[in-house]
Structure 1
Amino acid sequence: MHSLTEKDIRTSFVNASQRERGSLTLPAGFESLDWDTRDFLGWRDPKLPAVGYVVGRVDDAVVGVLLRQADGRIRTRPQCSWCEDVTLPNDVVLFSAKRAGAAGRNGDTVGVLACAAFECSANARRRPPMAYVGFDVEAARQQRVLAVQEHIESFLRTVREG
């Protein structure tokens, strides 16, 4: 992912009000983020524990989405829809996002099961287990990274297009 400025991020949100954009807290260590190992920027707001933000690229445009964690607990161990990591080193929660535009103003939302702290980029880059003799670990890792990029872009596009 290409590096982003604070202004890029604040203006990218397609489903947030001006007030929500202005009051969001950037992730800790924003100035020193390693953009080369990220497929998207995702973080939780320390002031609002049930709120998360995801910023990525769709058709060369920066698109940001405000997410809200659903109330309640999931009874089974879910799989993240973005990284599809079967070893799940972290928690997965249900997030909802208002759609952009008139659909969102009318209450239309999109739900997604995602890593609670948005660790998908790191999960996809972890070395996968050797599946069989001759298994190409690097090709599998690269395929996982591409899958995360496609899933994030698809989700952002769905929210943006209302």
Structure 2
Amino acid sequence: MKPLGEPEIRKSFVNCSKGEAKGLTLPARAVEIPWPELEFLGWRDPKAASRAYVVLWHEDEVVGLSLRAADQPTSRLKSGMCGFCGTVHGLADLSLFSSRRAGQSGKDGNTLGTYLCANLQCCRYLRGKLQPDAIQPAEHLTVDERIARMETKLHRFVTQVLETR
């Protein structure tokens, strides 16, 4: 991912107010973020556990999404799969995130949701820098192929958030 500065990150958000974007807590100083190892920057807000953010380059523009994490499910299922990277996690490490749609649709209350790694560290799981607790399905894809698959899913999600209906 091409490096971004704090002003670019804050200005990128398409589904929250300028005031919300200005007040959000960044994951680290921009110079400390390992940009070459990321396809997107994702983090949970340490001051508000239900808030999360994703920032990425999408069609040559920086797009930031404000997300909300749902309460942990009380399902009998024991594991689930991230909708971006395909990593299998126990339910404690997987969250349902919803994103207000951009524009009037979002102001009208329309959202889009998906299950993701609760810590939003998909890029690190794909590169083997983090190991999930759950047993992973056998795959014969290279790391680059897995990253390409995640990017396809990620950009599809962003496109759906940006759609005006």
TM-score, normalized by the shorter chain, greater than 0.5: yes
Q: TM-score, normalised by structure 2?
A: 0.85
Q: Distance in 2 between the 1:7 and 1:96 partners?
A: 24
Is the Cα contact below 8 Å between 1:13 and 1:65 reproduced in 2?
Answer: yes
Correspondent of 1:98 among 97, 100, 109: 100
Is the Cα contact below 8 Å between 1:44 and 1:52 reproduced in 2?
Answer: yes
Is the Cα contact below 8 Å between 1:96 and 1:110 reproduced in 2?
Answer: yes
Is the Cα contact below 8 Å between 1:81 and 1:112 reproduced in 2?
Answer: yes
How many residues are paired up?
155
Q: Distance in 1 between the 2:127 and 2:72 partners?
A: 30
Displaced runs of 4+ in structure 1, greater than 3 A? none
Whose RCO is larger (CA < 8 A, sep 6+)?
Answer: 1
Matched, 1:40 2:40: yes
Structure 1 residue 31: Cα displacement? 2.4
Which secondary structure does the structure 1 equivalent of 2:142 belong to? helix
* 1:42-121 alignment, distance < 5 Å: 42-75=42-75, 76=77, 77-86=79-88, 88=89, 91-121=93-123
Correspondent of 1:142 among 141, 144, 152: 144
Which secondary structure does the structure 2 equivalent of 1:78 belong to? strand
List per-residue Cα deviations over 1:93-145 (Å, max 9, x = no partner).
Answer: 00111000011011110001000111110111129x9x69xx6xxx5211101
Q: TM-score, normalised by structure 1?
A: 0.87
Structure 2: segments with no counterpart, 5+ residues:
130-135
Structure 1 residue 7: Cα displacement? 0.8
Matched, 1:10 2:13: no
Structure 1: segments with no counterpart, 5+ residues:
none
Is the Cα contact below 8 Å between 2:5 and 2:30 reproduced in 1?
Answer: no
List per-residue Cα deviations over 1:38-87 (Å, max 9, x = no partner).
Answer: 0100001111110000001111110000000112425221110000024x
CA RMSD of the aligned region, Å?
2.2
What's 1:19 paired with?
19
Matched-pair identity in %:
38
Is the Cα contact below 8 Å between 2:82 and 2:94 reproduced in 1?
Answer: yes
Structure 1 residue 29: Cα displacement? 4.7
Q: Distance in 1 between the 2:156 and 2:148 partners?
A: 12
